[in-house]
Structure 1
Amino acid sequence: MTKPKIGIVIGSTREARFADKPTEWIASIAKARGDLDIEIVDLRDYPMPFFEEAKSPAWAAPESEVARKWGAKVAELDGFIFTAAEYNHGPTAVLKNAIDYAGREWNRKPVSFIGYGGVGGARAIEQLRQIAIEMQMAPTKAAVHILWPDYLAVLQGNKLEEIDHLNQAAGAMLDDVAWWAKVLKAARDNDAVVEEVKAA
């Protein structure tokens, strides 16, 4: 079986976003494992309008050309890690909008999170887990929470790879994502074979 392809989705598009730092950090750790194919997916490259489709993407392709491009990218991936900035106890609007603009492309794939903020993005991540379940994804228990002291330390020049407890959390999260991605990819591939046999 080929290595699962995991998209690290940068869940903020602000000019002064912090998200690039955890994205580069987790991508480096994940690539070093050797068992995952990692791609960074930046929502800046998919400037979708606020959701305004006549039909749910679960039932019909979006009319927005950039949203169709986004859906095709989601379909290519076998699992996801979202960076989760916390705004007012919730996830960013741009990330929620991106989730809404795809449908079945999310189904039966694992997702985990790197949160940051006052409580490590925990409240945003809890909401994202509920949304992920509705999209028939498999959210992992393990996640990374960059707490306020760690966040400030990084802004002052420290590196995430120097913070031991974050590296331990990253390892546990990637173990979960890798396991679920392999299992669910095998199951999806098996389903595809069964459908081909039925259609023959």
Structure 2
Amino acid sequence: MDLKLQTIICSTRPGRVGPPVAEWFHGFANEDGSFVSTLIDIADFNLPVYDEPNHPRMQKYEHEHTKAWSKSVSEADAYVFVLPEYNYCPPASFTNALDYVYNEWNYKPCGFVSYGGVSGGLRSAQLAKQLVTSLKMMPMMEGVMVQMPWNSLDDNRNFQASEHHENSATAMLAELVKWARALQSIRAPS
């Protein structure tokens, strides 16, 4: 059975640079062949600030946007979050999307392709790693940091990865596949 990876665009703001970076990683992951990668954009789900009346652990979702998000998250064995750094933190859209569901995230590995200024979004990724552990996810030590991604866009707004981006992505994917296989047994019905 093929392992399923979701490459998730976490910024929802107009003019964001996340989609070109995510499209690069998504293509790179599919070429790597360890996973079947699907590109997911949080913005497509139009998630308002968390608005479900029941705790997400109960999975008694009332809103269609939550049901659609739950279905999407459930389909993956692993995730790569492509996220910017806003004020040293991940965007609120990322945190909100995490909060919408709970069981769907459990016992799955995740990695981060972070981007921003000189730090390459590293501070955002570090905080995000703490957040995902509360959902019983396993964040990878390896990651891809993209400094000033706007300088790596061609005239068609395609992200032009450097060798160090590709090397980092290869290392992260290798770890993700190990953890995804190992955690499948925990998620299997007993």
8 A contact 2:88–2:124 mirrored in 1: yes
SS in 1 for 2:184: helix
SS in 2 for 1:106: coil
Listed as ranges, the gaps of 5+ residues in structure 1 are 196-200
SS in 1 for 2:113: strand
Matches within 5 A, 1:180-199: 180-189=179-188, 192=189, 195=190
Q: Which residue of 2 aligns with 1:144?
A: 144
The alpha-carbon deviation at position 186 of structure 1 amounts to: 3.6
User: Is 1:72 aligned to 2:68, yes or no?
Assistant: no
Deviations 1:12-36 (A, max 9, x none): 1222110111111111111112221
Residues 187 and 86 (structure 1), Cα distance of their counterparts in 2 relative to 1, 3 Å cut: same
- TM-score, normalised on structure 1? 0.88
> What is the one-letter code of the residue matched to 1:172?
A
User: Is 1:134 aligned to 2:131, yes or no?
Assistant: no
Listed as ranges, the gaps of 5+ residues in structure 2 are none
SS in 1 for 2:46: coil
Deviations 1:114-142 (A, max 9, x none): 00012111111111101110000000000
Q: Which residue of 2 aligns with 1:22?
A: 21
Identical pairs, percent: 30
Q: Quick one: distance in 1 between partners of 2:107 and 2:28?
A: 24
Q: Which residue of 1 aligns with 2:3?
A: 4
> What is the one-letter code of the residue matched to 1:10?
I
Aligned length: 188
Larger Rg: 1
Residues 174 and 44 (structure 1), Cα distance of their counterparts in 2 relative to 1, 3 Å cut: same
Q: Which residue of 2 aligns with 1:114?
A: 113
Q: Quick one: distance in 1 between partners of 2:161 and 2:52?
A: 45
8 A contact 1:160–1:166 mirrored in 2: no
SS in 2 for 1:105: coil
Q: Quick one: distance in 1 between partners of 2:33 and 2:146?
A: 25
Matches within 5 A, 1:75-114: 75-114=74-113
The structure with more helix, counted as a fraction of residues: 1
- The root-mean-square deviation of aligned C-alpha atoms, in Å, is 1.7
The alpha-carbon deviation at position 94 of structure 1 amounts to: 1.1
Q: Quick one: distance in 2 between partners of 1:120 and 1:29?
A: 19
